[in-house]
Amino acid sequence: MELHPIPQPDELDIREKEDASGAYLMMFATTALGLPLPIVNMIASVVYYFVNRSKGRFVKFHALQSMYSQLIVSAINSYLVIWAIVNLVNNKPFTDVFWGLAIAVGVFNLVYFIFSIIGAVRAHKGRFYYFIFFGRLAFVQVYSVKEKQHEKPVNLPPKM
């Protein structure tokens, strides 16, 4: 697989480093709204990606990795919130399975926060930090050279 040149920390300007680290830090800014409505974090990460994807491959990589991981975290958090709302509306007790899931989701979010802080710090230093699965996925999407497809020309000379 052919790759685009991978920038080294001294080749990146401070703005690129800040925008890349902002992809992870943006999640903390929306957490206050995102606790009752996890979809807010997901929307914020998607918007951040689309606004910043044209600012260079380094920024695009970090924004994409952050967005992919945020989609999973938001889905898990949304599931838990919906389950809690359904239980409250129907006046049902919270089962041990619910509390087990709530603890697992809490631990998962804590681990995600830690990885996001590490990712933000590394990006601010101009370094890459690869999340499990999402790092490779984002890297391949951003840095692999797409083969030019040989398209048939649209305009052809007249048949003779």
Residue spans of the domains in the chain: they are 9-140
**pLDDT the model gives residue 36:** 67
| 99-134 burial code (b ≥16 CB/10 A, e <16) | eeeeeebeeebeebeebbeebbebbbebebbebeeb
Helix, strand, or coil (residue 68) = helix
**pLDDT the model gives residue 14:** 94
**pLDDT the model gives residue 25:** 87
Tally of CB atoms within 10 A around 12: 18
**pLDDT the model gives residue 52:** 93
Identify the DSSP state of 94: P
Q: How far apart are CA 13 and CA 101, in angstroms?
A: 43
Query: Which of 122, 140, 116, 118 shows the shortest CA–CA distance to 9?
Result: 122
Q: What is the model's pTM?
A: 0.82
**pLDDT the model gives residue 149:** 56
Give the mean pLDDT per block of 10 residues along the chain (160 residues): 87 94 82 69 90 94 94 89 92 93 92 92 94 92 78 77
Q: How far apart are CA 57 and CA 6, in angstroms?
A: 9
Q: How far apart are CA 95 and CA 134, in angstroms?
A: 33
**pLDDT the model gives residue 33:** 62
Contact at 8 Å (CB) between 28 and 112?
Answer: no
Name residue 144's beta-bridge partners.
3
